[in-house]
Structure 1
Amino acid sequence: MSDVPFGFSNRDDDPDKRDDRSGSGANNPFGFPMGGSGAGFDPSALGQMLSSLGQMFSTMGQPGSQSGPVNYDLAKRLARQQLGTTVAPVSAGSRSAVADAAHLAELWLDAATTLPAGASKTVAWTPNDWIEETVPTWKRLCDPVAEQVSGMWTSTLPEEAKEFAAPMIGMLGQMGGMAFGSQLGNALGQLAKEVLTSTDIGLPLGPAGTAALLPAAITEFAKGLERPESEVLVYLAAREAAHQRLFAHVPWLRQQVLGAVEDYARGIRMDFSAIEEAAQNLDPMSLADPSKLEELLSQGTFEPQTTPEQKAALERLETLLALIEGWVEVVVGDAVGDRLPGSGAFAETLRRRRASGGPAEQTFATLVGLELRPRKLREAAALWRRLTTDAGLEARDAIWAHPDLLPTSDDLDNPAGFIDGVIGGGTGMFDDPLAQLAETEARERAERERKDREAPESGEDDKPGDEPA
């Protein structure tokens, strides 16, 4: 499977090459120029293509049931098929063990961070539960990519073709939605077998305020650690609870993380030459299986070359993920301390699991061409550790009060200056920053209300006829 879905790339096409590709004949299966302006538009060729696409969709079921740029019903169906029919429900014993582990973890975390508990409930999920509960977040991550690709079909058509191509654009939208849904379903099916918690890949995938652990995957994970499964469960419950505290009490964090993924996705550029090449031998009757469509549409793609905007979004995302993971690692390490003798080994195993890639990275590479790695996790953990030791819990956690206060990627490489700014004359900026932000917002709101009240009064003086004769 390609790392980038249905034939698009982050590369800007060479105009000269694009002109060569837009000619008619075998190299242009659509029968009209896709991006050039030299050749004329042939309505009869478009009609033939629409007929071919209509035949294709007649073999694929009910495309009209899709709403939006991605067929999520298809994605969920394929994901569940990967899990098979042997997914057992969570036993009462496992649910009780998860609840007990979460309760204990919250008690221990209270002494390790100033952020209060963030989860209103802790649940035990099956892989099927994980798929169902995380799809709303996947929609937010995947839709920008699919919408970008869908819009490119229209933007690259010559003006004289757009009037005739409206039916085709709708069909292509359905085709892309099914292909993307197929890729998403296959990726989620694999990921659902291996994730341990709702925040296992660093993103807040589940519903806000819900901490979730997957007992079946945790049992498999614990087998290679040579420690009692109960220890592993409590450690992972503490990590999940720490993530929930951060995302619940840092209100801008969820938007920053998901927004960085969205910004990266919007920079996708379509490679029409790959699509044209893949479509040369199009056989509509072979596309009844959506996986065949996915295979067809992913042929001819190549490694993405990111734009400067994407590189900035990627660096911002990687730094933010490293800061989140590093903070969680330090806080959980302090919380469990000597209570869990294997905690050091657990932390190192999870760090390597994230750093080396795995199902999470493969999923994002497949869906948005994005490697989801907190590349500076060790540096971030070291910075949070030094802040904890030198500045204390309050100053450390207060840095989350505003995104502008967070360390940058350069700070992670050279943390001394940042730490000195917190400890040495810059500590005043961290005195109850949440209260400071609330005060600033209140002042701005009061100023807006004052201006709104004064606006009608000043406006009355300017009415026609009020001026002296």
Structure 2
Amino acid sequence: GPKVTAAEASSVVEELRADAERARTPVAETARLHTPPDAHAPLIVDRPGWIDANVSSMRSMLGPVFDTMAAKRRREPGQLTRSVGGKVTGGEAGALMAFLAGKVLGQYDLAPEGKPRLLLVAPNILHAETQLAVDPADFRLWVCLHEETHRVQFTAVPWLREHLIGSARSLTSELVPDPDQLGAKLAQIASSLPDAFRSGGTGLADVFATPEQRARMARITAVMSLLEGHADVVMDDVGPQVIPSVAQIRAKFQQRRRGGGAVDRLLRRLLGLEAKMRQYRDGAAFVRGVTDRVGVDGFNAVWTSPETLPLPEEIEDPGAWVARVHG
């Protein structure tokens, strides 16, 4: 992370902690959603702390997937295979975590078998505000507004966390190929990589998913678009009231979201992060389109049950969601 003294790092952490608390009331009032009093407070972490939390969540999320893979094996792998395989997959996971740990500003950690809570990554926020040359106090509060909205979404809507975890686990288990099919799947991935680069889809998962699995993936993507777009809308609606330089921050941050050099853009496409950027844009358009038609309270019907979440085609057609849910 950025080179700072212990005193400077401590100051950033304390300010982020205060900003996270400061963001709670305006976010709740704007979203008209309220967290229960026993909801966990945000946790300020460094990059290793973010990695630790996500490795734990990854282990919990993928545990059932590994069980499925083990059940499909016809015979136990030898000691050499287990040793080499563990190092390869560990290296892949480590590389992924290292790449993301320098980019994520904040995250609501679903912690499938642990304690869900909001994480704010202090060194990344400090690096981003310096890189963008924006007012630090304004930028830190702005980030907290977005991330606090995610905390409100998952704590005010109790069923949402388990719904997402269950959907992701089920789909991931299905995407794992049978051991006998692994060679063919690898060949399919290699031959389809150029199309994956050109398509701008959701990343490598697009390459080997069946049409039915892509449809389920689209349902999950629609929910993620809703969550990210809603957080962007709330932060921008609250922003002018409490952040003098919000317009400048938004303009510069949009440019940052487009990525850096060629290697960075390549990794973003492979990991599906370009699709993630579209989620902010498309989700925000959906939220504003629905709110313009039925107001905030009408929009909040989206949190009623899994059946009222937007379908993939409704993200681009808010009127269709309004007609389906409100009649």
- Give the TM-score of the pair, scaled to structure 2: 0.76
Which residue is equivalent to 2:30? 112
Which residue is equivalent to 1:321? 224
Q: Do 1:121 and 1:209's aligned partners in 2 also have CA atoms closer than 8 Å? A: no
Separation (CA, whole Å) in 2 of partners of 1:239 and 1:311: 29
Which residue is equivalent to 1:290? none
- AA at the equivalent of 1:328: A
Q: 1:136 aligns with which of 56, 64, 69?
A: 56
Q: 2:126 aligns with which of 201, 214, 219?
A: 219
Q: 1:234 aligns with which of 141, 155, 158?
A: 141
Structure 1 residue 169, shift from structure 2 partner: 5.1
| CA separation of 1:408 and 1:89: change in aligned 2, threshold 3 A | farther
Separation (CA, whole Å) in 2 of partners of 1:217 and 1:101: 16
Structure 1 residue 121, shift from structure 2 partner: 1.6
Q: Do 2:154 and 2:161's aligned partners in 1 also have CA atoms closer than 8 Å? A: yes
Q: Do 1:124 and 1:212's aligned partners in 2 also have CA atoms closer than 8 Å? A: yes
Separation (CA, whole Å) in 1 of partners of 2:63 and 2:315: 32
Q: 2:89 aligns with which of 150, 173, 180?
A: 180
CA RMSD of superposed structures (Å): 3.8
Q: Report the 3-state secondary structure (helix = DSSP H, G, I; strand = E; otherwise coil) of the residue aligned with 2:43.
A: strand
Structure 1 residue 263, shift from structure 2 partner: 3.1
Which residue is equivalent to 2:236? 333
Does 2:213 match 1:310?
yes
Please list the CA deviations of residues 246-295 of structure 1 after superposition, one character each: whole Å capped at 9, or x if unmatched: 0112222223333333233222326869869xxxxxxxxxxxxxxxxxxx
Q: Which has the higher helix share?
A: 2
Please list the CA deviations of residues 112-154 of structure 1 after superposition, one character each: whole Å capped at 9, or x if unmatched: 0221136532332111111222222111344455445444442
Structure 1 residue 350, shift from structure 2 partner: 5.2
| CA separation of 1:379 and 1:363: change in aligned 2, threshold 3 A | closer
Q: Do 2:225 and 2:283's aligned partners in 1 also have CA atoms closer than 8 Å? A: yes
Q: 2:105 aligns with which of 186, 193, 196?
A: 196
Does 2:176 match 1:268?
yes
- Give the TM-score of the pair, scaled to structure 1: 0.55
Structure 1 residue 88, shift from structure 2 partner: 6.8
| CA separation of 1:251 and 1:231: change in aligned 2, threshold 3 A | same
Which residue is equivalent to 1:411? 314
Relative contact order (C-alpha < 8 Å, sep 6+): which is higher?
1
| CA separation of 1:349 and 1:274: change in aligned 2, threshold 3 A | farther
What is the aligned-residue identity percentage?
21
Separation (CA, whole Å) in 2 of partners of 1:353 and 1:310: 32
Q: 1:123 aligns with which of 23, 29, 43?
A: 43
Q: Do 2:289 and 2:319's aligned partners in 1 also have CA atoms closer than 8 Å? A: no
- AA at the equivalent of 1:326: G
| CA separation of 1:342 and 1:403: change in aligned 2, threshold 3 A | farther
Q: Do 1:87 and 1:126's aligned partners in 2 also have CA atoms closer than 8 Å? A: no
Structure 1 residue 384, shift from structure 2 partner: 1.3
Please list the CA deviations of residues 422-461 of structure 1 after superposition, one character each: whole Å capped at 9, or x if unmatched: 66xx4xxxxxxxxxxxxxxxxxxxxxxxxxxxxxxxxxxx
Separation (CA, whole Å) in 1 of partners of 2:91 and 2:22: 40
Q: Which runs of 5+ in 2 are unaligned?
A: 194-206
How many aligned residue pairs are there?
303
